[in-house]
Amino acid sequence: MKFYITTPIYYVNARPHIGHTYTSVAADVLARFYRMLDYDVFFLTGTDEHGQKIATAAEERNISPQSLVDEMSEVYKKLWEKLEITYDRFIRTTEPKHVEVVRKIFLKLLESGNLYKGEYSGYYCIHCESYVIPENETIPLCPDCKRPVKKFTEPTYFFKLSNYKEKLEKYYSENPDFIKPDFRKNEILNFVKKGLIDLSVTRKNVKWGIESPTPEKYSIYVWVDALLNYLSGVGYLYEPETFEKYWPPDVQLIGKDIMRFHHIIWPAILMALNLPLPKTIFAHGWWNINREKISKSKGNIVSPEDIIEDYGVEPLRFFLMREVPFGLDGEYTEEAFKKRYNSDLVNDLGNLVNRTLNLVEKRFNSEIPYGSPDEKLMDMLKAAFENYKEKMSKIAFSEAIEEIWNVLGYLNKFLDEKAPWSIEDDKEAGRVLYNVLEGIRVIALLLSPFIPTTAKRIWDMLGIGKDPYIEKFSAIEKRLVPGNKIGERVILFKRRK
Q: Which positions lie near ligand MSP, rule CB under 6 A? A: 8-11, 19-20, 22-23, 48, 226-227, 229, 254-255, 257-258, 286-287, 293-295
Is the peptide bond prior to 96 cis by the omega test (within 30 degrees of 0)? no
Q: State the nearest-atom distance from the C-beta of 12 to ligand MSP, in Å.
A: 8
Instruction: Calculate the CA 417 to chain-centre distance.
Output: 40
Q: State the nearest-atom distance from the C-beta of 169 to ligand MSP, in Å.
A: 23
Q: Which is nearer to ligand MSP, 8 or 449 (CB)?
A: 8
CA torsion 310-314-319-321 (nearest 10°) is: 150
Phi, psi of 347, deg, nearest 5: -75, -65
Q: Which is nearer to ligand MSP, 105 or 258 (CB)?
A: 258
Phi, psi of 263, deg, nearest 5: -95, -10
Q: State the nearest-atom distance from the C-beta of 144 to ligand MSP, in Å.
A: 11
Q: State the nearest-atom distance from the C-beta of 222 to ligand MSP, in Å.
A: 8
Q: State the nearest-atom distance from the C-beta of 254 to ligand MSP, in Å.
A: 5
Q: State the nearest-atom distance from the C-beta of 45 to ligand MSP, in Å.
A: 10
List % helix, strand, coil for the chain (3-state, nearest 5): 50, 15, 35
Q: State the nearest-atom distance from the C-beta of 329 to ligand MSP, in Å.
A: 8
Q: Which is nearer to ligand MSP, 4 or 459 (CB)?
A: 4
Q: Which is nearer to ligand MSP, 15 or 478 (CB)?
A: 15
Q: State the nearest-atom distance from the C-beta of 450 to ligand MSP, in Å.
A: 18
Compute the distance between CA of residue 338 and CA of residue 164 in angstroms, rounded to an integer.
48
Q: State the nearest-atom distance from the C-beta of 273 to ligand MSP, in Å.
A: 16
Residue 253 makes CB contacts below 8 A (sequence gap 6+) with 5, 6, 7, 8, 23, 26, 27, 30, 282, 284
Q: State the nearest-atom distance from the C-beta of 430 to ligand MSP, in Å.
A: 48
Q: Which is nearer to ligand MSP, 258 or 455 (CB)?
A: 258
Q: State the nearest-atom distance from the C-beta of 294 to ligand MSP, in Å.
A: 4
Q: Which is nearer to ligand MSP, 47 or 212 (CB)?
A: 47
CA atoms within 13 A on the CB side of 372: 1
Compute the distance between CA of residue 107 and CA of residue 116 in angstroms, rounded to an integer.
12
Q: Which is nearer to ligand MSP, 330 or 439 (CB)?
A: 330
Q: How far is CA 132 from CA 138, 152, 266, in A?
A: 15, 12, 18
Q: Which is nearer to ligand MSP, 295 or 435 (CB)?
A: 295
Compute the distance between CA of residue 55 and CA of residue 51 in angstroms, rounded to an integer.
6
How long, in residues, is the chain? Answer: 497
Compute the distance between CA of residue 315 and CA of residue 307 in angstroms, rounded to an integer.
9
Q: Which is nearer to ligand MSP, 11 or 120 (CB)?
A: 11
Compute the distance between CA of residue 82 and CA of residue 14 in angstroms, rounded to an integer.
18
3-class SS at 205? coil
Beta bridge partners of 158: 116, 200
What radius of gyration, in Å, describes the C-alpha atoms of the chain?
26
Q: Which is nearer to ligand MSP, 20 or 441 (CB)?
A: 20
Phi, psi of 312, deg, nearest 5: 105, 165
Q: Which is nearer to ligand MSP, 289 or 378 (CB)?
A: 289
Kindly give the interhelix angle for 397-418 and 375-393, rounded to the nearest 10 degrees: 170
Residue 366 backbone class (left: φ over 0; alpha: ψ -120 to 50; beta: rest): left
- Give the CB-nearest residue to ligand MSP: 255
Phi, psi of 220, deg, nearest 5: -80, 135
